[in-house]
Structure 1
Amino acid sequence: MSLGVLGAGAFGTALAITLSQKGPMTLWARDPAQAHQMARDRTNAARLPGVALPDRLTVTSDLTDLDALDTVLVAVPLQKLRAFLEEARRPLTGKTLVACCKGMELRTGLGPLEIMAEVCPESPRALLTGPSFARDIAQGLPTALTLACTDEDQCIALQQALSNNTLRLYRTGDVIGAALGGALKNVIAIACGAAIGAGLGESARAALMTRGHAEMQRLAAHKGADPTTLFGLSGFGDLVLTATSAQSRNYRFGLSIGTGAAFDPAATVEGAATAQAVAAYAKAQGIDLPISSAVAALVEKRLDVEDAMTALLSRSLKEE
């Protein structure tokens, strides 16, 4: 299986670095200047500074360099995925596409595999998700992820091709549950960051994580997924990592909301748009997702943290 990675952000670069252990690897960057810098200096100075690119890793900005590949990992932000796939549809035709992004599209509420199905219906699809930070993967630190695919034989082949001695993949056929876990944990991480930033304490964070996980299961069940999938790496595991570490952009974004500090507008915060998409869907479907709805209100600046917590704590008492 010949592999390549589309997207030279931190995560795409990290995947290309670790997968190059198994053979030649191609990493595509949209910006020709970035691709030139990476090829010349053998590091991604903008996104993953201090980590060397292996000799077997080729960096390019030319999509035709993907023609010889049969499997492509697509590591572009979820909100930009549709436009990118429409632009790159011809060179991607017939290739197996592995989505490496998390979230729900703001306009449609669709996840990565659903977007791929609409834009590239002829391409086999899979999803790589779970608890991971780019720097950990790039530095060869032990990481376990979920590989979701409805075709079991294809999933087994991808699992073998994408696993190595530090990156371990577990497979599932529940593509809806795996995608929702990766999307919704970012929303809950924003809530947790906001609570900590506002000085509400660790107990508040624990409550938000626990009740947020219940929301994740509730939405998964409504969409036809197996709620137990949300107890695995792509749900509970990813939630724990993202809601407790300052390496998480979503958690840091929540911290900035809680403290009132400015946040880098160039940083990708998938949970912000996902919260808005989830809140709109929940309202239309009559699903009770109070934490996700509160995060959407925070993102849209319709509520501050104090008002959001007051609204959550004043809800009717009930059985867990």
Structure 2
Amino acid sequence: MIKISIIIKTLNEEANVEKAIESALAAIAGYEGEVIVSDSASTDRTVAIATRFPTSVVVLEDASERRCGVGPQLGFQHSKGEYVYILDGDMELNAGFIKRAIAILDEQKEVAGVGGYIHEMRTDNLELQGRIKRFQRARRKDLLDVDCLNGGGLYRRAAILRVGYFSDRNLHAFEEYDLGVRLRSEGGRLVLLEDKAVDHFSYAMGTWQLLWHRIFSGRFLSSGELFRAALASQYVGRVFREVRIVPISIGVWAYWACAVLVGLLTQPAPVLLTALAMPIVVMTVRTKSLNLALFSVLTWHLSAAGFAAGILKKRCPPATPIRSRVVQPAA
């Protein structure tokens, strides 16, 4: 049996995919392994570059099905490894991390997945700066049990098969959390190491440019889509406790409902202006940054709008095979 499958999910990653593949091939050296490039119908040279290497290359048939949850599941459909790692096309994998993660999975059968530190190579925007702070907090303890493996991880195939599918193809984001909560529901442990797992060369764009990218790519729908997934898999309570943006999105709707009601009973204009200014003032005091306060409040409101829209989006069964074409079969 193949020991490890590394799935590289890509979408227009011609600038990064070569190094991602080289790092994945180096990581499986010494193991019976495979590298699978799972492409979401790129329009650049990503697929052509990937076929230069001894990898499997599979491409999403219908570009309208692009979601963050599609790439991992598509790659998993074509994988055979006892352990499966999901790697973004703009990441470079650390072979030392893979060696230690495999040893942990071999020895501790209750562990369903192992993640590591994500080294962010760019800090051009507030979102990445916040992500770095969260990872730094998590690094304070090795072998830390966590809710999910954000940024990728090495998973046990047998554990994934027990929960039905690798990644929910309906999700524009939170696909790693959804996988994590399903694995934990079956008694699996997810552990985070202090070891660096990858170098991440993220979006080279500023804070506001990235925000608009989230809107036009559909990622702002993800909190509502996750809530729908939670209803289907019966983990709504955990979502409220563990995914901060879900109660925030619901809270934004409740906040404005109360503000409108008070305004109708008193004076609408002063009440609504006060309601608009209050969260910005509070966040400015809390973060000591007007720019960060505006970014946070705007993100909350976009997420609240997306929450409503995401709940209403039609879902297809997550385990349904994803239509694809094999551009290059297994080496």
TM range (shorter): 0.3 to 0.5
Larger Rg: 2
Judging by fraction of residues, say which structure has more strand: 2
> Higher relative contact order by CA 8 Å / sep ≥ 6: 1 or 2?
2
TM-score (norm 2): 0.34
